[in-house]
């Protein structure tokens, strides 16, 4: 199994959705404060966990689109951390695409390093366990946000977003099999 190729396939899937939505809505998400972006990711992860737990859904949309949304909102979160939030949709779609590509490349580089060191342990994990890891990372990010971004020994918000991107992509790979 070629993890790098699988990762790139799933990121392309996410990127396509990101760009289509940018075509429809522009970059209206730029007005969101970083904590609001975190809450959007939380809503998606919480819905996934709810679907995994109860197995019943009232909305005709499964977990895969939610994982795609998690990837895309986490990238938006990284962009918001870099640029700060705005009062208007101040990015054109080309600039948003460029920033998207920058952050998914950084996420992929991190994934490749960690994947080497951890021996692709994610392949032996359950989708539900990876969902729980995403939620745990979100609770950590929310705690750091509540402390105005300050940490004593922990990684920052950006590290959490990068891990969330990679975990969500891992689950997309697992669900695509």
pTM of the model: 0.95
Name the helix (H) or strand (E) containing 151: none
**SS3 assignment, position 58:** coil
pLDDT single digits (tens) 76-133: 999 999 999 999 999 999 999 999 999 999 999 999 999 999 999 999 999 999 999 9
- Long-range contacts (CB closer than 8 Å, 24 or more residues apart) made by 6-11: 6/173, 7/108, 7/111, 7/169, 7/173, 8/108, 10/71, 10/169, 10/172, 10/173, 10/176, 11/71, 11/104, 11/108, 11/169
Average pLDDT of the residues in 4-33: 97
In this predicted structure, what is the pLDDT of residue 104?
98
In this predicted structure, what is the pLDDT of residue 57?
72
């Amino acid at each position: 199994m070629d993890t790098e190729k699988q990762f790139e396939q799933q990121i392309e899937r996410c990127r396509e959705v990101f760009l289509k939505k940018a075509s429809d809505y522009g970059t209206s998400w730029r007005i969101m404060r970083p904590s609001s972006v975190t809450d959007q990711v939380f809503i998606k992860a919480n819905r996934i966990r709810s679907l995994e737990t109860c197995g019943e859904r009232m909305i005709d949309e499964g977990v895969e689109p939610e994982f795609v949304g998690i990837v895309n909102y986490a990238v938006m979160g990284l962009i918001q951390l870099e640029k700060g939030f705005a009062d208007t949709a101040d990015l054109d779609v080309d600039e948003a695409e460029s920033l998207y590509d920058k952050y998914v490349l950084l996420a992929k580089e991190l994934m490749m390093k960690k994947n080497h060191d951890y021996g692709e342990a994610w392949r032996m994990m359950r989708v539900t366990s990876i969902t729980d890891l995403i939620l745990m990372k979100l609770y950590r990010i929310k705690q750091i946000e509540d402390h105005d971004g300050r940490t004593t020994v922990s990684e920052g918000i950006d590290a959490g977003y990068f891990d969330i991107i990679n975990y969500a992509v891992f689950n997309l790979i697992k669900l695509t099999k």
